[in-house]
Structure 1
Amino acid sequence: MTISLPQRWQFRQPSVIPGFGLALGVTLSWLVLIILIPLSGLAWRSSALGWSTFWTLATDQRTLNALKISFGTAFVAALANVVFGVLLAWVLVRYRFFGRRVIDAMVDLPFALPTAVAGIALTTLYAPNGWIGSLLTPLGIKVAFTPLGIVFALIFVGLPFVVRTVQPIMEEIDREVEEAAATLGATRFQTVSRVLLPGLAPAVLTGFALAFARGVGEYGSVIFIAGNLPYVSEIAPLLIVIRLEEFNYPAATAIAAVMLIISFVMLLVINSIQAWSRRRYGYGA
């Protein structure tokens, strides 16, 4: 009678690539030093406030309005970026025209351009006496120094996230799939809605989450065009800076902790979407 011994549990799968222990050690050390220690300090400082004090500071009316403006404008801007980002990616992938490479390079400009420069440029354009603002003011549309101006700034900084997330997936979709759908009698709308969009959905959702996360934490491009009016166009990151300048460290800590919690939830959602995408399309192990 042969007794089989239980297999030894392995921490990792065997790999032909050497240096796993060293690489893992460096990775964890860098993660702890750069990310975990600062965040742990914020969490410790927040816990030192006490629950009642923390709740009072976090639910202050000015704080709630700033959080509402930050997350509300970021959500609207992310939705707009999904629509126009997918359209822009579709044009860059499916069509060949003069200047396509220039437009493709311009998509990355918000990554390289300092956010303060973007904010000044947008304010110059959309101010009541600006090139575009002077045309909108007679129509009763005010962009600068309103939440609408914040949305415009966040659309500017968040568009590349959607385009660069969707574009590689769109390039992998074979044109023969569209031709087969047309051969079977599908209309253009049915081809887009039933053949193309389901495959692009994970990438679109990931791009939306990334643009939304960027919009929530954006500061430089927003403070110029927002006007920073309390209860009207004041964002949460700016309110944190104001509390620090007032030496009101407990209030700044409470606001930062709330944003940290929300950001962590958003990142968890992003990772879940990416994992679902890998499982659905067979990416990764």
Structure 2
Amino acid sequence: MTRRVLPGFRLSLGITLVYAAIIIMLPLAALIFKAASLGPSDYWRIVSSERAVASYMVTVGSALIATLFNLVFGLALAWVLVRYRFPGRRIIDALVDLPFALPTAVAGISLTTLFAANGWFGAALSEIGIKVAYTPLGIMIAMAFTSLPFIVRTVQPVLEELDPALEEAGQTLGAGDWSIFGRVVLPLLTPALLAGTSLAFARSLGEFGAIIFIAGNQPFETEITALLAFIRLEEYEYPAAAAIASVMLLAAFLMLAVTNFLQARALRYTVKG
């Protein structure tokens, strides 16, 4: 008799599938069916309207810039937390998870208070001609704040498990610090970086509570797609809201597919290397 590694596999698998069907597949199916209730012409008219396209550009553009910032800053922060010991390190490490614990609406109000024209940071920035609150820059800051932990917490465990002997071998061969990082460390971190970046980008695309308070929500300027879908819901235009949301859903699926492909290639490259 073959002993199964996981006791109750059929039961646990059944519970998992039921949970996934109710929590994940059912809302997605409802969204798709509601959007499909529109005819092709009506669907295209809604998702390609000037206001909708402007919201896509604001959302995707801000999310891209916020993710690129977090890619650099998150990697640097994870590196410092893993490789160095200094007073207050545990506090900083705990603060990384603050966006997970803090309600997004509270984060949005806090950021607006800090970066408003009379806020602690906003007043100083206003003196040099930089306005943050109620501008696309405020949207980027809100997105960066809420999505930073995804990159840090994805890269940090890989850095902790990285064998120092690999870097020491590079030093023995006469390679410089940047050469060792680019040729030895970075390839090993690439799969984790891709995973963290995709999660951060997806979180930025779907962020709502932290953005609406600091964005100003001006159509064609600072209106994100999630807010536009919410407005359509308030107007009882449920098919229109579903159509707009389906565009972001499709973008998320495409992004995950591309990320999984790049991760697979990075893993094969690492194994061959």
Give the structure-2-normalised TM-score: 0.94
Larger Rg: 1
1:154 alignment partner, one of 135, 143, 147: 143
Matched, 1:29 2:18: yes
Residues 58-82 of structure 1: CA deviation (Å, up to 9, x unaligned): 0010011111111110111000001
Matched, 1:121 2:110: yes
Give the equivalent residue in structure 1 for 2:69. Answer: 80
2:185 alignment partner, one of 191, 196, 202: 196
Provide the C-alpha distance between the structure 2 equivalents of 1:31 and 1:280, rounded to a whole number of angstroms.
33
Provide the C-alpha distance between the structure 2 equivalents of 1:119 and 1:67, rounded to a whole number of angstroms.
21
Give the equivalent residue in structure 1 for 2:250. Answer: 261
Matched, 1:251 2:240: yes
Q: Secondary structure at the match of 1:230?
A: coil
Q: Secondary structure at the match of 2:221?
A: coil
Deviation at 1:191, TM superposition (A): 0.8
- Relative to structure 1, the CA distance from residue 214 to residue 27 in structure 2 (aligned partners, 3 Å threshold; closer, same or farther) is same
Provide the C-alpha distance between the structure 1 equivalents of 2:265 and 2:16, rounded to a whole number of angstroms.
25
Determine if contact 2:136/2:222 at 8 Å carries over to the other structure.
yes
How many percent identity over aligned positions? Answer: 55
Give the equivalent residue in structure 2 for 1:163. Answer: 152
Give the equivalent residue in structure 2 for 1:94. Answer: 83
Provide the C-alpha distance between the structure 2 equivalents of 1:102 and 1:130, rounded to a whole number of angstroms.
25
Residues 90-123 of structure 1: CA deviation (Å, up to 9, x unaligned): 0011111111111111100110011111111111
Give the equivalent residue in structure 2 for 1:218. Answer: 207
Letter in 1 for 2:243: A
Q: Unaligned 5+ residue runs, structure 2?
A: none
Provide the C-alpha distance between the structure 2 equivalents of 1:55 and 1:220, rounded to a whole number of angstroms.
28
Letter in 1 for 2:213: F
Deviation at 1:277, TM superposition (A): 5.9
Give the equivalent residue in structure 2 for 1:3. Answer: none
Residues 197-216 of structure 1: CA deviation (Å, up to 9, x unaligned): 11111111111111000000
- Relative to structure 1, the CA distance from residue 235 to residue 139 in structure 2 (aligned partners, 3 Å threshold; closer, same or farther) is same
Displacement over 2 Å in runs of 4+ = 13-18, 266-282
Give the equivalent residue in structure 2 for 1:103. Answer: 92
Residues 138-193 of structure 1: CA deviation (Å, up to 9, x unaligned): 22211110000000111111110000000001111111211111110001110111
Give the structure-1-normalised TM-score: 0.90
Provide the C-alpha distance between the structure 2 equivalents of 1:84 and 1:36, rounded to a whole number of angstroms.
35
Give the equivalent residue in structure 2 for 1:6. Answer: none
Provide the C-alpha distance between the structure 1 equivalents of 2:11 and 2:270, rounded to a whole number of angstroms.
32
- Relative to structure 1, the CA distance from residue 248 to residue 261 in structure 2 (aligned partners, 3 Å threshold; closer, same or farther) is same
Give the equivalent residue in structure 1 for 2:49. Answer: 60
Deviation at 1:21, TM superposition (A): 1.5
Provide the C-alpha distance between the structure 2 equivalents of 1:186 and 1:278, rounded to a whole number of angstroms.
24
Provide the C-alpha distance between the structure 2 equivalents of 1:131 and 1:197, rounded to a whole number of angstroms.
37
What is the aligned length?
Answer: 270
Matched, 1:19 2:26: no
Determine if contact 1:73/1:147 at 8 Å carries over to the other structure.
yes
Cα RMSD, aligned residues only: 1.7
